[in-house]
Structure 1
Amino acid sequence: MEFNKLLSLSVSLVLILSVAESFDYNEKEIETEEGLEAMYDRWRSHHKVTEKSPERFNAFKATAQLVHNHNKLKKPYKMKINAFADMTIEEFRSAHADETLHNLKLPGPGCPACPACPNCPAAAAGPKDLPPRLDWREKDVITPVRRIPGCYNMGPALTSIEAINTIVTKEKLVLSQQQVVDCYPGGPMGVPTVYDVALTQGVATLDSYPETSARREKCDKSKFGKKLVTISGYEQLNKHDEEGVMQIVAEQPLIVTMDTSDEEYKNYAGGIYNGACGGWPKWVMLVGWDQDPDGTKYWIGKTTSFGEEWGEKGYVRVIKTPEGFCKMYSYGMRPFKTIETRNIEL
């Protein structure tokens, strides 16, 4: 996907998601066309959406009816009418799903395509004892949820670098996607792009190099500030079973993809997600695992595409299964950082 294709949609959605609170409706509004149209106008006012068209209204109607019908069922998760309610599935996929990974075959062990990493830690001698629950947020490692504009798959890479940098240096820094976009010499934008910049150049903090747009600007080294965050290397997920993924997440947060239903996932409101699979891959960063009072086990995932209004303040709980819900053990990536790999002081 071309990076600039998402410019206008990304900028408008970040404005919407930064101001929106939960949108509520009356059941009677769903019952008639007039009620739905009034509800649509109220939703537009709520989210400060000026565009109105029959196509947008039809997409909104379909979303409203899907959410309403789902929430009447006894499911372990709920949906809500959020800022994406008037988006078609094609638009949602374009903005938030990774088409390059669609129908991806399971990768083999290791990651031959990744740069050599002589400073990366050696593989553990054996499995560790795993706790019944883990949440990296409780260790003050995870940066705040925010919607990172531009390519959907760059945000997760940034947040994973933020996490490993905090684990190693004990300094929690929020990083700038704009600097990555501006200072990368060219080629496709994605997870490896962010890791390559961190590996070869370093990534500036958001305070120093603020987000100004979702498009490429001139690389401005005067905005690099006092520090560039670096990594030692990175690798693809090389353990494709539940315990193997838990072993990795016990060491550091891990970004993975899930082939979840596009219609259901975009309207997720909270609870343990176990909806239909078969959609296009979406990135999420696993920050831990737990179980609810009835014993249902789940992963805790952080998103970077939707902001705090989506899901559980930007997080999703996903049912934990041995085979990996919606292929979530099939593809993932993580950066490495050793204590010897110091950030660049400017």
Structure 2
Amino acid sequence: MEKILFLVILLLAISFIPHITSVPFDERDLRSDESLWDLYERWQRHHAVAREHQEKQKRFSVFKENAKFIHEFNKQGKPYKLALNKFGDLTKEEFESGYVGSRVHKRKMFLSHTNTNKFMYDSVNVRDLPEFIDWRLKGAVTNVKDQKTCEQELIDCDTSDNQGCSGGLMVDAFKFIEKSGGVTTESDYPYRATNGTCNAMKIKSSVVVIDGHEDVPENNELALLKTVANQPVSVAIEASGQPFQFYSQGVFTGNCSTELSHGVAIVGYGIDKDNTKYWIVKNSWGPDWGEQGYIRMQRNVKAKEGLCGIAMAASYPIKTSPNPPSRKGNISLPHRLSNLYAAELVHTCPCSLAQGT
């Protein structure tokens, strides 16, 4: 038992070793426009960003303000840090428009998330739950994507309620997968970052099916904990603002509102070394954002909605039937894992605002 615990701790430690996904800097880099320009040049080389002269001057002004904001923020001693990541020369508004804001009306989030007494984990005893769980260690989580590698099948074909590149809701995506008889592989239906025409032949070649979905009782982090202890969960959060834009590492504690605007997946939970309880949240901004594409968000906060509204609109798929027979060249997911995989797959996202445009 002690060996297993040691291995879990070791894997966690390795997973949180920050990769060089941002450009380090200090106060000396902020002293003059000349030193800031050198910093901007380093940032462009690091992220392989090329700007035309006129655009570069404009972006430099944005970059300067972002660098100063990050530096001042990190001096405040909060439990999480910001960094000059790939969003370094985007304004807050550009970032929100390209990576956060869905044009699906926010009220629809609540209309889709129906209040129901049906909750399959209601009888779970909280005392029996593990103190820590990470579905990544159990093989139930796919690689982190960068909104340039979202599920094209859902963008093209799930258009009755969702709006393709304009964004959508996780519950509607679950309904589409149920109705269409499953979802195919990304290699069969690759992402193109644009709205397209649904390929009817490809959506018939499903490898994962689900039999239904349920909502986690809203505004209830305890119910959310029971669910995450059993499988990953699709949730919505409010993810705008510079602290989210430049998040690098640590347990995110806000500030944020409850104006839900972004779909993510909770793939675990734990307790930090200072006894702060957190959710392990998988994002869709690439592995070069945050903690290799993830963010740890504080849980058990005073607000019933959870931090950034994380407990307001959570859903998960239900699976009882077997997957379709595997076809040549396709993987066949184990029954249990395919149920877990479906939950973290369906945090639909809009087309991204590409760097360099």
Q: TM-score, normalised by structure 2?
A: 0.72
CA separation of 1:221 and 1:103: change in aligned 2, threshold 3 A = closer
- Return the offset for 1:282: 2.8
Q: Secondary structure at the match of 1:290?
A: strand
> Which of 316, 320, 326 is the equivalent residue of 2:308?
326
Q: Is 2:266 aligned against 1:267? A: no
Q: Is 2:178 aligned against 1:199? A: yes
- Return the offset for 1:258: 2.5
Moved more, 225-234 or 98-107: 98-107
Q: Contact (CA 8 Å) 2:235, 2:264: kept in 1 or not?
A: yes
What do the CA deviations read for 1:125-183 (whole angstroms, capped 9, x no partner)?
A: 62322221111112111112121328xxxx5xxxxxxxxxxxxxxxxxxxxx1222233
What do the CA deviations read for 1:201-252 (whole angstroms, capped 9, x no partner)?
A: 22110122222x2113333456569643221122343242221110111221
CA separation of 1:123 and 1:194: change in aligned 2, threshold 3 A = closer
Q: Secondary structure at the match of 1:60?
A: helix
Q: Contact (CA 8 Å) 2:267, 2:280: kept in 1 or not?
A: yes
The residue aligned with 1:65 is: 68
Q: Secondary structure at the match of 1:94?
A: helix
Aligned-pair RMSD on alpha carbons?
Answer: 3.1
The residue aligned with 2:56 is: 53
The residue aligned with 2:139 is: 140
The residue aligned with 1:308 is: 287
- Return the offset for 1:271: 0.5
- Return the offset for 1:193: 4.5
Q: TM-score, normalised by structure 1?
A: 0.74
- Return the offset for 1:105: 9.8
The residue aligned with 1:290 is: 270
> Which of 221, 242, 257 is the equivalent residue of 2:221?
242
Distance of 1:68 and 1:102 partners within structure 2: 35
The residue aligned with 2:8 is: none
Distance of 1:277 and 1:122 partners within structure 2: 28
Describe how 1:1-346 pairs up with structure 2 within 5 A. 21-51=21-51, 52-99=55-102, 107=110, 111=114, 123-124=120-121, 126-128=123-125, 129-149=128-148, 155=150, 177-184=151-158, 188-189=163-164, 190=168, 191-201=170-180, 202-211=182-191, 213-220=192-199, 223=202, 227-260=206-239, 262-278=241-257, 281-304=261-284, 306-322=285-301, 323=303, 324-338=306-320, 340=321, 342-343=323-324
Q: Contact (CA 8 Å) 2:113, 2:313: kept in 1 or not?
A: no
Q: Contact (CA 8 Å) 1:205, 1:224: kept in 2 or not?
A: no
Moved more, 91-100 or 306-315: 91-100
Distance of 1:243 and 1:332 partners within structure 2: 12
Q: Contact (CA 8 Å) 2:112, 2:172: kept in 1 or not?
A: no
Distance of 1:219 and 1:99 partners within structure 2: 21
Q: Secondary structure at the match of 2:251?
A: strand
Q: Contact (CA 8 Å) 1:80, 1:269: kept in 2 or not?
A: yes
Q: Secondary structure at the match of 1:148?
A: coil
Distance of 1:242 and 1:337 partners within structure 2: 23
CA separation of 1:125 and 1:284: change in aligned 2, threshold 3 A = closer
The residue aligned with 1:3 is: none
Q: Contact (CA 8 Å) 2:122, 2:223: kept in 1 or not?
A: no
For 2:308, give the aligned amino acid.
C
CA separation of 1:122 and 1:307: change in aligned 2, threshold 3 A = closer
Structure 1, unaligned runs of 5 or more? 1-19, 115-120, 156-176
Moved more, 245-254 or 263-272: 245-254
Q: Secondary structure at the match of 1:228?
A: coil
What do the CA deviations read for 1:272-292 (whole angstroms, capped 9, x no partner)?
A: 111311385332211111112
For 1:256, give the aligned amino acid.
V
- Return the offset for 1:104: 5.1
CA separation of 1:192 and 1:327: change in aligned 2, threshold 3 A = closer
Q: Contact (CA 8 Å) 1:285, 1:301: kept in 2 or not?
A: yes
CA separation of 1:125 and 1:317: change in aligned 2, threshold 3 A = closer
Q: Contact (CA 8 Å) 2:22, 2:86: kept in 1 or not?
A: no
Distance of 2:33 and 2:129 partners within structure 1: 53
Distance of 2:240 and 2:205 partners within structure 1: 43
For 1:28, give the aligned amino acid.
R
Percent identity between the two aligned chains: 31
What do the CA deviations read for 1:297-328 (whole angstroms, capped 9, x no partner)?
A: 11111111x11111110111111124311222
| Greater strand fraction, Structure 1 or Structure 2 | 1
